[in-house]
Structure 1
């Protein structure tokens, strides 16, 4: 692909992030709710991690998986939101090549890591409901360790080619990214090369990872629902479903926002481009802010642990 005639072929050494190109005037107002959500996400996840670490009764596989989810949420927030707020508050739009591609790698790998964590948590709930007597022998600390290695390695290895392919493109003249983040396609469009392979690989890798996770989550809950419907003891079905409630709500948050982002990108000609940018930012912020709150509110053991932590004064 030849470079456009209206751009120079001089090499580019950094990018400029332009958030909401059509609504520059109200960026400062948007920074307020974003910063509050960021503080809520970081504070809630840090409190949850500290509670699980300090409370011996929470040293169980299910809470270890929840800790992993909180760590992934915090890394995603720290990767995206501080840069967005720096753009809003201080007009610090420039981002180096290395920082841009590192952000791209974390975003592309950590989101599938979250869906994979949800998948392992769904299996945990499946064993707890369908095979309760075998649960202590199946869901062990060793199982969580192996699952964590699988979650990190699978998604990191499969998504690593995305920033590598993007970094290998030749950038000549254009360096303004019309986005708040270094999204793969937003960056690739600035290159003078053909990035079809990059686009196809991201599509296949993304849907393979997320699609397989959601299929396994769906199957887990289908088996759980079948097992619950067979319970005849009074209140047994509600008790079994209540153990899955928090996890199901978290999956709903994650999948709903992801679905909105996908649908709006498919209908991008009908949806203002700035809305797509805002949804991409919120997808890295709303689930991390809500996940620890849902578990903290709905799980008696975590509420008790947080209360004890507050009484001790940390």
Structure 2
């Protein structure tokens, strides 16, 4: 079997199969995909517009929400339109350039989102544990710098993935059993040794995501200790409400991200369509629910959104 090297300058293409085993149901599956995407897109755009227009919301917490909204828009927009092309028009071909680019953005933005969630946990820690120093520790400019650091970290960690794939030899089979270009799904098509690719992917999953989860757990451990020491019932309730919102978003995103990273490495006995659907949930569920959760649970943001909707 002749092997060839797929390079970004080559004319070769990959074929995305869609959801294996459920091809006849693609049209029906496309409906929740489309609905989730539109709801998430509208919610995140609304959040960005409201925070951008309202000067009273130009605070570190809402700047972090805007960063999270941007990552949600990028991840869902990188996945859903391509998936709908498969479901609706049977357009399964994707160029090597497009495949590697999609893979880079998906994984880089996921790592970036993890960094944002850590920063949000630190923001809640400062707000509850040392509130008198909040404005000096967390300013808008400092949050922006932390965002840049998170972006640089994501690029440095994820850039080797497409570079490593670019060096692998690929045989006749270049059919990707997925609806998007996941790193391991592409790597498994190679005729060469992908041990280093697997190892590097696991390092990213456990070191980057694992470290971020540890920092979040540490922050919330300190927050819980501080909350338990509060004597005022009102202060206790306010602190709990403040943490609950971020905690729900963090758990939903991190758990789904970790599962998405592991789904192609373990559980070989699971049906392929189960793998694909569960791995795709990360790009559908958080972008849809994040703006809803914050819009409902954050009174200041809820009031501003309500004002603009009443105007409309």
Q: TM-score, normalised by structure 2?
A: 0.94
Determine if contact 2:256/2:279 at 8 Å carries over to the other structure: no
Q: For residue 9 of structure 1, what is the aligned residue in structure 2?
A: 3
In the alignment, the residues of structure 2 paired with residue 117 and residue 58 of structure 1 have an alpha-carbon distance, to the nearest angstrom, of 18
Q: For residue 288 of structure 2, what is the aligned residue in structure 1?
A: 289
Determine if contact 1:104/1:183 at 8 Å carries over to the other structure: yes
- Segments of 5+ residues of structure 2 without an aligned counterpart are 7-11
Q: For residue 275 of structure 1, what is the aligned residue in structure 2?
A: 274
Q: What RMSD in Å do the two structures reach over aligned CA positions?
A: 1.6
Q: What is the 5 A alignment of 1:1-314?
A: 7-9=1-3, 13-261=12-260, 265=264, 268-313=267-312
Which digits, 9 at most, give the CA deviation of each residue in 1:100-136, with x for residues without a partner? 0011111111111111100000000000000010001
Select between 296-305 and 264-273 the one with higher mean Cα deviation: 264-273
- The alpha carbon displacement at 1:8 in A equals 3.8
Extract structure 1 runs of 4+ deviating beyond 4 A.
259-267
Which digits, 9 at most, give the CA deviation of each residue in 1:207-231, with x for residues without a partner? 1110111000000000000011111
Q: For residue 9 of structure 2, what is the aligned residue in structure 1?
A: none
SS of residue paired to 2:169: coil
Go from structure 1 to structure 2 and tell me whether the alpha carbon gap of 1:201 and 1:11 turns closer, same or farther (over 3 Å shift). Answer: closer
Go from structure 1 to structure 2 and tell me whether the alpha carbon gap of 1:162 and 1:44 turns closer, same or farther (over 3 Å shift). Answer: same
Which digits, 9 at most, give the CA deviation of each residue in 1:238-279, with x for residues without a partner? 111211121111012113323554675565233211100111
In the alignment, the residues of structure 2 paired with residue 224 and residue 145 of structure 1 have an alpha-carbon distance, to the nearest angstrom, of 24
- The alpha carbon displacement at 1:291 in A equals 0.3
Go from structure 1 to structure 2 and tell me whether the alpha carbon gap of 1:81 and 1:294 turns closer, same or farther (over 3 Å shift). Answer: same
SS of residue paired to 2:233: coil
In the alignment, the residues of structure 1 paired with residue 258 and residue 204 of structure 2 have an alpha-carbon distance, to the nearest angstrom, of 17
Which digits, 9 at most, give the CA deviation of each residue in 1:31-84, with x for residues without a partner? 011100010110110011111011111111110000000000000011111101
Go from structure 1 to structure 2 and tell me whether the alpha carbon gap of 1:10 and 1:106 turns closer, same or farther (over 3 Å shift). Answer: closer
Q: TM-score, normalised by structure 1?
A: 0.94
Go from structure 1 to structure 2 and tell me whether the alpha carbon gap of 1:158 and 1:256 turns closer, same or farther (over 3 Å shift). Answer: closer
In the alignment, the residues of structure 1 paired with residue 300 and residue 257 of structure 2 have an alpha-carbon distance, to the nearest angstrom, of 30
- The alpha carbon displacement at 1:155 in A equals 1.2
In the alignment, the residues of structure 2 paired with residue 26 and residue 192 of structure 1 have an alpha-carbon distance, to the nearest angstrom, of 32
